[in-house]
Amino acid sequence: MAIGMHIYRQILYPGAWTYVWSRDGNLNPDGWIMVGPGGRFQPTQISLGLRALSYYDSAYHHALRIPAPIPTGTYDLEMDQQYTGLGLIIEDVPDTSTPYPVQPSVTSDPVDDIQTALNLGNVLLGPGSYILTRTIDVPANRTIRGYGATLVRTYENVTDPGAYPYDYPFFKFSSTGRTLVEGVTFLGDRRPVNISNLAKVDLAYDLAGPTHVNITVRRCDD
């Protein structure tokens, strides 16, 4: 493997993204090629929109979106036609028959969109970022699947600031029924300076609630 070169995640769906960085500052944003089943494919460099970039950043880290469609299988990741030692496994996309799809929106609250869909049934989150300013209440017997979806939790509990002292959870599980969360990326926002050092972003938090033994988190990243 190239010295100092690392990859964030290696098992992906077509259209999903990964993150490559190097401590040597030797990355070429136009030099990436995936070599595997069916030939050579070029991933697209994207911005995650989570931080301001300086002019020199492009030499140190890249977010890359996998082409879609692309054959499933194992790929070698090359840069400037040189083998990097980094590999990718491309799998089939999640089951798109999940009844209630949700897409990122700039005109509506993503918490409302996801909560409304969950109240109706299982949910498929489309590619993109969802900024969550409060906790999503997940009913029993639900599946939440992501397809390049990133949930970003802020240090807010909108409408109920004291809901979870020092905790800012993504989910609250309101029952002990079986729940599956699959293929979603979880990110915590940067903690504001006016927030206590005890504050933290949690996957889930149940104040005085039961122990949940039927919750499965599979192929997710944080």
Of 11-25, 36-50, 135-149, 160-174, the one with minimum mean pLDDT is 160-174
Tens digits of residue pLDDT in 145-176: 887 899 999 888 877 766 667 888 899 887 66
At 208 the pLDDT is 47
At 144 the pLDDT is 92
- Closest of 14, 11, 34 to residue 221, by C-alpha: 11
At 163 the pLDDT is 66
Q: Is residue 39 over pLDDT 80?
A: yes
Tens digits of residue pLDDT in 79-134: 999 999 999 988 876 555 567 889 888 888 999 999 999 999 999 998 889 999 99
At 3 the pLDDT is 52
Domain ranges within the chain, ordered by starting residue: 5-90, 100-218
Q: Is residue 178 over pLDDT 70?
A: yes
Mean pLDDT on 191-207: 80
- CATH class as words, domain 5-90: mainly beta
- Write the CA distances from 200 to 30, 133, 196, integer angstroms: 37, 14, 9
Tens digits of residue pLDDT in 45-77: 887 655 556 667 778 888 899 998 999 999 999
At 117 the pLDDT is 94
46-50 contacts at long range (C-beta below 8 A, 24 or more positions apart): 46/17, 48/17, 48/19, 48/129, 48/150, 49/129, 50/152, 50/187
221 within 8 A of 8, measured Cβ to Cβ: yes
At 22 the pLDDT is 87
Omega cis (within 30) before 69: yes
